[in-house]
Chains A and B, each alone.
Chain A
Amino acid sequence: MKNTLPETGGFFARDRAMHPPALTPGYKTSVLRSPQRALISLEGTKSEITGPVFGHNMINEFDNDLIVNYAKPGEMAIGQRILVHGRVLDERGLGVAGALVEFWQANAGGRYRHKKETYLAPLDPNFGGFGRCVTDENGYYWFKTIKPGPYPWPNGVNDWRPAHIHFSVFGHGFAQRLITQMYFEGDPLIWICPIVKTIPDEEAIKRLVAPLDMNNTIPMDMRAYKFDIVLRGRRSTFFENRKEGN
């Protein structure tokens, strides 16, 4: 980690204007699942500025290689080979070291490996569709996968999800906990997706669209997409200005 002292400052207030509101009728499932009362504002206490730690030793060798982590020995998942890489940063621009990043996605045909999934596209016997990694000291992460396919879903009569990868990210405090989705540059489905459109701010949507990164594309092997994830920043504790308990 960059700072040798543990960070104990509170987190920057969340800018709710660029997050989706709870109730978004265009995404029908939100209608009965959206709290209707105002959230109670709470300055971060010890219970939210602290958070669990996950060590690098919990990660297995192929946890960040979705092309092979579910495949039979010697086989590989079918689809467009890609490298997804980037940094987990906080709003100060600092890399978040030791952050657990989990990801999951549909296969190349747009089918998820899940008990409740019924789309007619076939499963790929060599593709599980998930992985994880822990960021290095600079907040960097990467994984190999195949590009997921778009797929239809029951919302409107003809709604399709753009190709996307789900991300679950832990920072250093439980208040930073975030689940989001990564989209791919140039996908026309992004701008007509009811789930994307829950985000009220076009600039915020663009922050979820990963560009093609030719510099990190591996010749004759796989294209790269770069996706940075930004978690809430926290105040620096320059000096103690109030009594801490205990």
Chain B
Amino acid sequence: MVQPLNYLKESPSQTAGPYVHIGCTPNFTGIHGVYETDLGSGPLHNDKTRGERITIRGRVIDGSGTPLRDALIEIWQADSDGFYNSPSETRGTADPHFAGWGRCPADMTTGEFVFETIKPGRVPFNDGSLMAPHVTLWIVARGINIGLHTRMYFSDEEAANAQDPILNRIEHRVRVPTLIGKREGDTVTFDIHLQGENETVFFDI
């Protein structure tokens, strides 16, 4: 016999369901008066936040090509210098005017999500090499049994993307463009495909 390890098991995931908005974005679904605003709504920056303003727009698209109109998307990102506003950030102090987290329900008609944020700086990978600027996304919806993790990189960062240790890990190079947001002016477009030829790369992290 040996000593038991006594670890607990993670609670299993269940779908967020069609009414995720009630709990996470009640004002969006017309329930007012309980929370003043929906958590994570509105611009991630204020007028004192450092960094380049950008708008991320996209849709989550199912295997028939139809945008999901009941998805909920969250983003998490570093500030313009590459620091996360988190106690586990030990390399320095992040911009106090930038929390780095946002939440947006897909539009109930078009399926579009929009985040007004800043372009993140580069963050080091575990071996010290620099990752290219990226935004981490988490997607839940009815029919998605466990939240999907992915990343959005930037089309105007070709040199950094070419050196990125995560992008370089992807064996099927044809799939790398599914992780690149297309930048035009201040807008970065990032559609997430759940299935099909252009299925987005999702991570087990």
- Once bound together, how far apart are the Cα atoms of A245 and B30, in whole Å? 45
- Across the two chains, which residue of chain B brings its CB closest to A165? B23
> For B23, what are the chain A residues with a Cβ–Cβ distance below 8 Å?
102-104, 130, 132, 166, 168
Our pick among B34, B86, B149, B194 for the contact of A128 (Cβ within 8 Å) is B34
Q: How many residues of A contact B (CB 8 A)?
A: 93
| Segment 180-216 of A: residues with Cβ below 8 Å from B | 180-181, 195-196, 198-199, 201, 204-205, 207-208
Contacts known (A22-B145, A70-B33); A245 close to B12, Cβ less than 8 A = no
Q: How large is the interface on B (under 10, 10 to 19, 20 to 34, 35 or more residues)?
A: 35 or more
- Across the two chains, which residue of chain B brings its CB closest to A1? B87
CB distance from B149 to the nearest CB of A (A): 8
Contacts known (A103-B23, A204-B12); A40 close to B169, Cβ less than 8 A = yes
- Once bound together, how far apart are the Cα atoms of A114 and B25, in whole Å? 11
Whether B199 lies near A29 (C-beta < 8 A) is no
Q: Say yes or no for B180: interface residue by CB 8 A criterion.
A: no
Interface centre among B6, B26, B62, B141 (most CB of A within 10 A): B26
Q: Say yes or no for A2: interface residue by CB 8 A criterion.
A: no
Interface centre among A29, A44, A230 (most CB of B within 10 A): A29
Whether B22 lies near A104 (C-beta < 8 A) is yes
Whether B63 lies near A208 (C-beta < 8 A) is no
CB distance from B188 to the nearest CB of A (A): 17
Whether A8 lies near B62 (C-beta < 8 A) is no
Contacts known (A27-B145, A30-B144, A246-B92); A20 close to B14, Cβ less than 8 A = yes
- Once bound together, how far apart are the Cα atoms of A166 and B21, in whole Å? 11
Q: Say yes or no for A217: interface residue by CB 8 A criterion.
A: no
Whether A33 lies near B108 (C-beta < 8 A) is no
Whether B124 lies near A44 (C-beta < 8 A) is no
CB distance from B113 to the nearest CB of A (A): 16
Interface centre among A42, A50, A173, A208 (most CB of B within 10 A): A50
Our pick among B13, B128, B146, B148 for the contact of A243 (Cβ within 8 Å) is B128
- Once bound together, how far apart are the Cα atoms of A232 and B29, in whole Å? 31
Top 4 A-B pairs, shortest CB-CB distance? A245-B124, A104-B23, A29-B143, A50-B86
B: which residues have CB within 8 A of A? 6-24, 26, 29-31, 33-35, 39, 62-64, 66, 68, 70, 74, 76-78, 82, 84-92, 99-101, 108, 123-131, 134, 136, 138, 140-149, 151, 166, 169-170, 175, 194-195, 199-205
